Chain A
Amino acid sequence: MDTFLGLDATLLARIQFGFTVSFHFIFPAISIGLASYLAVLNGLYLWKGNDTYLRLFNYWVKIFAICFAMGVVSGIVMSYQFGTNWSGFSDLAGPVVGPLMAYEVLTAFFLEAGFLGIMLFGRRKVGPGLHMFATLMVAVGTAISATWILSVNSWMQTPQGFSMNEAGQFVPEDWWAIVFTPSFPYRLAHTLTATYLTTAFLVGGVAAWHLLRGGQANPGVRRMFSMAMWMIVVTAPLQVVLGHEHGLNTLEYQPAKIAAMEGHFESHPDGAPLILFGIPDQAAQEMRYELSIPNLSSVIFGKGWTGALPGLDTVAPEDQPPVAVVFWSFRVMVGLGFLMLGMGAWALWTRLRGDLYASPWLHRAAVLMGPSGLVAVIAGWITTEVGRQPYVVYGALRTADAVSPLGADAVGWSLMAFIVIYFTVFGAGVLYILRLMSHPPEAGEHGARVEPGPIRSAGLTPQQQYPGRGNPSADPAE
């Protein structure tokens, strides 16, 4: 068999897609939430005229610009990965998936990109009203983008509305059914909420860091900590509910995925236990070192104390997803979800006591939880994607039939290139973001890209030469 480092071309292509999409997902997960946060900040600034909001807007817009750029370049890779590594999928599922993605480009990518320049650099050129509009369009664009791509993904999870032609292609019959598949509303709500939660923890983590380092008097730091904690109080419980609903939906349409998430190798006709911990042994089709609470799984899924839940024994071994990956990534996501819930409760309690800004242990926890949203998002993504295996279009097209006719060498070397370059380039980007975050938002915070910024012309320092020009912060009107 044709292999590269012992791995065959299909597995390499899966690793490549998983790697590039996970890396990509980090950036939109931040920028979807951050774009909305920026729109809120800018709106509050225009409404209330409070400079603290502008300070925060200018602070976060720089981080947003870097995230957005990394999201764009890693996203372009994704739009071509379907063809380079998954030509079978492209040919067969292209008639259904392609138009949805084309709509994403037409309704979202252009909108974001078209107004991003005005949002970043155009405040003085177009005036506050149009600038606000541009900021709003960027935020709306990111949400529309998420909607389309999750529609695509949901169709791959719970496909409907198609027929097959003689070439084996999926032919769209009912676009309404294709866009609105049964899992789509749940996935959309769960994922969008996840991006807002991710942003809230990121903002809260940065604010907490500065609170710990003597920033208690900085109104920008206080404001963003407060806003982030409110956001967590609202969205963390909401996310637990949405996740639960999504799970119920998955049980209905993809029971094998739920069995893998729960680690249920055996069917339980009268009450399934909730397995807290265990080592799945898929070869032996059993859970080793199982630590579980009897009957709780059935209760969670609304089946009652003795309700039946199907196990993986109802699925032929060759049709099962890889259990260990799904089982563990699901536990990471849920564990973090409950930590988030606890964080929200703690923050609310501290606030009611009146010492939200003087609780170092809360702040330390918030710093620690800063990246938790990102980890949870990736873990959730792995759960749902690996849980769909061995299918790429659930029940209709196997992953092995979707792959490109490439040699293992070609996929292996390109995977190496992606790994090396992504870690170098995006590592540098993350470093730049952390460096920006290490400074608190100051009074007169610069907008997108000033420090250490471009020297506008030789020998001049424009801030001094032209007060109010070349540097938004020097303009008192802003």
Chain B
Amino acid sequence: MPFDLTVAWALLLVFAVFTYVVLDGFDLGLGILYPLFPEKHDRDLMMNTVAPVWDGNETWLVLGGGGLFAAFPLAYAIILPATYPLVIAMLLALVFRGVAFEFRWRAQRPFSRVSWDLAFFGGSTLAALTQGMILGTLLQGIEVEGRQYAGGWWDWLTPFTLLCGVAVVLGYALLGACWLNMKTEGEIQHRARVIARLAGFATVAGIVAVSLATPFLENAYFERWLAWPGILEVAIVPVLVGVLTLVLARALLAGTGPDWLPFVLVLALFGLCFAGLGVSMWPYVIPPSVTIYDAASPPSSQLFMFVGAVVLVPIILAYTAYAYWVFRGKLDPSEGYH
């Protein structure tokens, strides 16, 4: 097969979005779990586990958006107006969540601190919900006319998009709980593990619900997932989800394996969800009308950027990994990062 720049860009963007979901997923998850840890020192500790890395994590979202803008400008120009209220809400939610990282330490009165706690929780939860709903809107299909969005202003609000939103909130909460299980000790870790069990159960339920609903959104999805003999190939995704679920359940319930295991298993679960999305959508970037080829920017654009990405992304991954390495291991509650 000859090298296809457009496909390469699609894969690179999927990689960026997946990395975002993986990295910012647990940051946002910690925010979602904030109400379950009402003690101030627990909250301090939770925030400290991600304080040195959250900004880098969020940058993958900028790469996802920026990459879409650069490599598939038509898709960017259609998806964002189609999900306008969701995107605006997500951006404002991320404002609250992001500043809370700094402002929380600056608040002098308990009232202000609790307000920023609330901003951290609300911002994280709303960001997760809207991200899920944007995904749901995309999956259920966007109406396009010419080169513009042509649907209504409430198309993004359906039971399916809400289901996707809730599923993402649950999934991020699970990631957050598994992250805490890995980074803390003692009572916090114990509570994180209990939460991870519940969130794990709920997340798998969410995945199952979204997966069952998806084939009935579009005939193309139905054909891809349930028609013979293709089903033999694609069935590997749900089968692997099932296997992973069992392994994860064992790791969380038995609690004997290494503390990083549940986190890694959940990452794998998210990876499978992405594979499932890929099966549904490929080669469309906006189902059911715009393929990656329709939306692709001219080869001169994609090539110029691809050369840079091939060189820079590995370097970025290297120094990001280094930053994680510097702050590795259990958080020493007596030290913090401060």
| Chain A residues engaging chain B, CB cutoff 8 angstroms | 65-66, 68-70, 72-77, 79-80, 82-84, 87-88, 90-99, 101-107, 109-118, 120-122, 125-126, 165, 167, 169, 171-173, 175, 404-407, 410, 414, 417-418, 421-422, 425-426, 428-429, 432, 435-436, 447-450, 452-458, 460, 462, 465-466, 469-471
Contacts and interface: CB of A to CB of B under 8 A. Distances in A.
Contact of A109 (B59, B91, B334): B59
Nearest to B78: A87
Interface stretch (B82-90, B199-207, B239-247, B269-277): B82-90
B65 A83 contact: yes
Given A99-B70, A107-B312, A121-B327, A73 B319 contact: no
B198 interface: no
Contacts of B77: 83, 87-88, 90-91, 94, 404
A218 B94 CA distance: 40
Given A102-B67, A102-B70, A121-B338, A175 B84 contact: no
B301 A73 contact: no
Contact of B316 (A69, A106, A125, A421): A106
A83 B79 contact: yes
Contact of A73 (B76, B94, B316, B322): B94
Interface in B94-115: 94-96, 98-99, 101-103, 105-108
Nearest to A98: B70
Question: How big is the B interface, by class?
Answer: 35 or more
A24 to B, nearest CB: 11
Interface string B127-168: 000000000000000000001110001000000000000000
B61 A76 contact: yes
A204 B189 CA distance: 47
Interface of B: 39-41, 44-45, 47-48, 51-53, 55-56, 58-59, 61-63, 65-67, 69-71, 73-74, 76-81, 84-85, 87-88, 91-92, 94-96, 98-99, 101-103, 105-108, 147-149, 153, 297-298, 300-301, 304-305, 308-309, 312-313, 316, 319-320, 322-323, 326-327, 333-338
A189 B102 CA distance: 31
B62 A105 contact: yes
A99 B308 CA distance: 10
Contact of B52 (A121, A167, A173, A432): A121
B326 A118 contact: yes
A94 B51 contact: no
Contacts of A126: 326
A146 B301 CA distance: 21
> In this complex, which of A93, A95, A109, A447 has the most chain B Cβ atoms within 10 angstroms of its Cβ?
A95
Contact of B308 (A106, A417, A447, A457): A106
Contacts of A106: 63, 308-309, 312-313, 316
